[in-house]
């Protein structure tokens, strides 16, 4: 998993922990609005968990597909990486 996906996953996990803490802290309150808010928060938390799981599955599928292509065409992959690096290097050198 790349750094961005890991950061998003960490953020979602932190959100989930905060939400669980909020649910625990507000468990004693019985007002109708608080009960409704807890239900909505629970639903949002479940939705976030599902989204995080789908993102992780897609990231893993993408990494596996990339690995397969690189293993099937190693010289082409090295050539593309070299060309892309050269273009990026050229653009960065012109920028300065």
Longest dimension (CA), the chain: 66
Count of the separate structural domains present in the chain: 1
- With cut-offs at 50, 70 and 90, classify the pLDDT of residue 4: low
pLDDT of residue 72: 94
Domain housing 60? 3-95
Place of tokens 């010289």: 75
pLDDT of residue 46: 80
| Secondary structure (3-state) at 51 | helix
**CB-side neighbour CA atoms (13 Å) of 53:** 6
More confident residue, 70 or 13: 70
- List, for residues 36-94, the tens digit of each pLDDT value: 777 777 777 787 788 888 888 888 999 999 999 999 999 999 999 999 999 999 999 98
Cα 40 to its chain centre, rounded Å, is: 23
Contact 6, 56 (CB under 8 A): no
């Amino acid at each position: 998993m790349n750094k961005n996906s890991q950061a998003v996953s960490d953020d979602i996990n932190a959100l989930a922990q905060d939400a669980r803490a909020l649910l625990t802290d507000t468990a004693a309150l019985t007002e109708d609005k608080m009960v409704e808010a807890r239900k909505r928060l629970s639903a949002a938390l479940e939705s976030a968990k599902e989204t995080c799981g789908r993102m992780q599955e897609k990231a893993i599928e993408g990494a596996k597909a990339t690995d397969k292509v690189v293993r099937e065409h190693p010289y082409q992959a090295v050539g593309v990486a070299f060309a892309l690096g050269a273009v990026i290097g050229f653009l960065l050198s012109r920028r300065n």
